Amino acid sequence: MKITTPRRLFASAVLALATVAGATTPGQAQPAAPTQPAAAAAAAAAAAALPGYQVINGGPATVDNFARMYLACPSGKVVVGGGGEAQGAGGVLVGSFPSYVGGVYRWNIVARQEGASQVTTTGHIVCVDSAALPGYQLINLPNANVSNGGSREVACPSGKVVVGGGAEARGSSATLRFSVPIPAKKVPYYSWTASGRSLSENTVGITVDAICADPMPGYEIVEAPVTEAPNPNRLSLTCPQGKAVLGGGPGGYNTAVVSASRPEFIDSAHGYRWVTSVREPSRTTAISGASAICANI
């Protein structure tokens, strides 16, 4: 299905074709393709410690560059993570972040395609029942310009852990460079940090969002070792047995361009893993890492 919006920066569009376990999210269009039947079993297994755990997949949808798309959690649920992928050799993930609009928790995706006016994108949102996360809080750091490759950070309040987060790079040639959680073992607090870069300017706008909550059983942040691999450098992270992935993010280095950061279904026994894709336009290889947030199921 093709969705177009006025060709201007940061236009709005609903990412239609949302599917989860054969059902549609309220307010979304009908599924574009069959959902993996085994996803229902994985979601049911997660209900023990994370009531209402649900991964909703949207797209693929073709939209104008910089169109803002979103998926929404069903009523009574909160967003804990999400992501997307800008498909194609020139796909660029500009923004992947949570929001709360009109009483509904959303995951937003902004993407573009180098050398084209439109981009084909998928979107994904991870939701749980609101009662599953005491102390739940979504914190937004409004947009501000930083030097190319610079970063910004949102810290969770004392006593809370970072459950998920995201960011948006702003500018006509902007891209995310990294968008990852920071565990308390690295700093004396949990936080979400993000970096962007412009392919044509000396500065780039960065907005950062952190999802925080009271600690939960089995909480941990899993990190993939930094690796150098041929473009695109695709990494995947699987939570330890008995745990479900809540969210995650890509870690790119140097002149990295992020094209994907999203949950990916494995099978009914393993549920979802987190996958990322990073490339460096001026090199044949890219250096990247990845992080995933896990909790007991």
How high is the mean pLDDT of the chain?
85
Cβ-Cβ contacts under 8 Å for 102 (sequence gap 6 or more): none
As a whole number of angstroms, the distance between CA 227 and CA 223 comes to 12
115-127 pLDDT, tens digit per residue, is 999 999 999 999 9
What pLDDT is stored for residue 25 in this prediction?
Answer: 29
State how far the alpha carbon of 20 is from the alpha carbons of 129, 148, 166, 255, in Å: 15, 38, 22, 35
Dihedral sign of CA atoms 172, 177, 183, 185 in order:
negative
What pLDDT is stored for residue 145 in this prediction?
Answer: 96
Burial class (CB in 10 A: 0-12, 13-18, 19+), 269: exposed
Sheet holding 191-198, edge to edge: 151-155, 191-198, 174-182, 243-252, 285-296, 220-230
For residue 70, how far is the Cα from the chain centroid? 11
- Ordered by start, the domain boundaries in the chain are 38-296
Sheet holding 91-101, edge to edge: 68-72, 104-113, 91-101, 161-170, 203-213, 137-147
pLDDT of residue 24 exceeding 50, the answer is: no
163-172 pLDDT, tens digit per residue, is 999 999 998 8
CATH fold of 38-296, please?
Jelly Rolls (2.60.120)
87-138 pLDDT, tens digit per residue, is 999 999 999 999 999 999 999 999 999 999 999 999 999 999 999 999 999 9
What pLDDT is stored for residue 16 in this prediction?
Answer: 42
As a whole number of angstroms, the distance between CA 148 and CA 59 comes to 31
Identity of the amino acid at 278:
V
What pLDDT is stored for residue 218 in this prediction?
Answer: 94
203-231 pLDDT, tens digit per residue, is 999 999 999 999 999 999 999 999 999 99
What pLDDT is stored for residue 2 in this prediction?
Answer: 28
pLDDT of residue 83 exceeding 50, the answer is: yes
245-295 pLDDT, tens digit per residue, is 999 999 999 888 999 999 999 988 889 999 999 999 889 999 999 999 999
What pLDDT is stored for residue 107 in this prediction?
Answer: 98
What pLDDT is stored for residue 49 in this prediction?
Answer: 67
